[in-house]
Amino acid sequence: MKITIVGAGYVGLVSSACFAELGNHVVCVERDGARVAQLHEGIVPIHEPGLPELIARNLAAGRLAFTTDLAQGVRHAQLLFIAVGTPMAQDGSADLSQVLEVARAVGRHLSRFLVVANKSTVPVGTAQQVHSAIAHELAARRLARVPAFAVASNPEFLKEGAAVEDFMRPDRVVIGVPPGSAGTRAESLLRRAYAPFNRNHERMVVMDVKSAELTKYAANTLLATKISFMNDMAALADALGADIEQVRRGIGSDRRIGYDFIYAGLGYGGSCFPKDVAAICHTARAAGERLRVVEAVQAVNAGQPARFAERVLRHFGGSLEGRTIALWGLTFKPGTDDVREAPSRAIVRALVAAGAQVQAHDPLVHSLDQLMPDEPAAQRVRLEPHVRFCADPLAAARGADALVIATEWKIYRSPDLPALRRALRAPVVFDGRNLFDPQDMARAGFIYQGVGRGQER
């Protein structure tokens, strides 16, 4: 098939490479010319295991091309996927300006039947806005014969760090199609595009467009809810002297609950959960409803990094003046270089505000510019003298009064404990990801605090 994907960000690049790997001819349109030039040179601007190899192989095979020319992309496509960013606006809503800009451009260049599918995460009703934007541009052209088109919803369910695997082995493929003959044609083309995934069993879940749009938000919000629920339970476990890790194993063995997303820790971050939870709350308010459970999910998550930083301060009597704190892990989760809404950012700010010097290590983040790219320059200048980036975990620990673990990278999971104890000025570990067993750490001579391990009081 001839497929165009607009947007060479995380979702667009993964989708482009994977569709090309399945034998399709894919054009990926990106307005950033520098990024297009990088991609043609084999430089992939995001960290995603397996993605550089896929892109290189399909570029060489001629199945994948990158361009800044959206008109070319529209002419090429039988299916056009919109995969541009939908960042969170100040009021919590999703900013659809890039999506609608693409829609208007499609309308300016459309000449034959085309299926336009929203792969970006968008609020309910966006497909109708996209349809209206395309139709408006077509009307402005005063064509003798107006080409037909259909706008569908095809939300992505990709985990950063495992996105290629998720795309190639999906749990389900959700598509929402409009009623009528255009919707029937859209479903047929989308089924054809995803046919390779249905050879073992049917993975297509077909529904109306609004339901498909809501499905994406409902899925992410439910996963976020599990995380905040466990962090609420972890606070109670600390107060009661229980161990949330034992609780996790006890409830996770129930098949109705399962083990996924029930780890207590510093809360969720990244590009999806924070903005999607905010967007669904905004959508509900606009519809005259309140999502009281989801609002509580937000509140718990927002407070989790500060709660953990407060634990560090409490250990040192409320001040970190003259103290050095080692920090392992800066990305919002392992396997990615994404720092958007990473809990480590709030922890760094809190530690520095309390007077600490921070010695940080992360496998992929090596500077404040990487850690806080969206912060005002003045904020980074204020932090710069107080944050040092180290080449390896032990170097970060050397001479520190305590170690804080903020991301569960594999490199941190089996440290040389005697060497770590020698490196630290004091054998104090605050484990924000519950990587270690408290009893093992005590036997190794550490003062150890995890999240919900019954140690806060």
Task: Please give the positions annotated as active site.
Answer: 272
Q: Consult the annotation and say whether 197 binds a ligand.
A: no
CB 63 within 8 A of CB 26: yes
Q: Which residues sit opposite 403 in a β-bridge?
A: 326, 429
Q: Which residues, other chains included, contact 42 with Cβ-Cβ below 8 Å and sequence gap of 6+?
A: 52, 55, 56, 59
Q: Consult the annotation and say whether 269 binds a ligand.
A: yes
Q: Which residues sit opposite 150 in a β-bridge?
A: 115
Q: Consult the annotation and say whether 333 binds a ligand.
A: yes
Q: Which residues sit opposite 117 in a β-bridge?
A: 81, 152
Q: Consult the annotation and say whether 236 binds a ligand.
A: no
Q: Consult the annotation and say whether 264 binds a ligand.
A: yes
Q: Consult the annotation and say whether 263 binds a ligand.
A: yes
Q: Consult the annotation and say whether 270 binds a ligand.
A: no
Q: Consult the annotation and say whether 121 binds a ligand.
A: yes
Q: Which two tokens stand for residue 148?
A: 């037909």
Q: Consult the annotation and say whether 410 binds a ligand.
A: no
Q: Consult the annotation and say whether 119 binds a ligand.
A: no
DSSP 113-160: -EEEEE-S---TTHHHHHHHHHHHHHHHHT-SSPPPEEEEE------T
CB 269 within 8 A of CB 233: no
Q: Which two tokens stand for residue 428?
A: 């104090």
Contacts 24+ apart (CB under 8 A), 372-380: 372/339, 372/345, 373/339, 374/340
In angstroms, the CA 414 to CA 412 distance is: 6
Q: How many CB atoms lie within 10 A of CB 172?
A: 12
Q: Consult the annotation and say whether 226 binds a ligand.
A: no
Type of residue found at 284: A
Q: Consult the annotation and say whether 288 binds a ligand.
A: no
Q: Consult the annotation and say whether 35 binds a ligand.
A: yes
Q: C-alpha angle 331/336/341, rounded to 5°?
A: 40
Q: Which residues are annotated as a binding site for substrate?
A: 157-160, 216, 261-265, 269, 333
Tell me the binding residues for NAD(+): 35, 86, 121, 160, 275, 340
Return binding residues.
35, 86, 121, 157-160, 216, 261-265, 269, 275, 333, 340
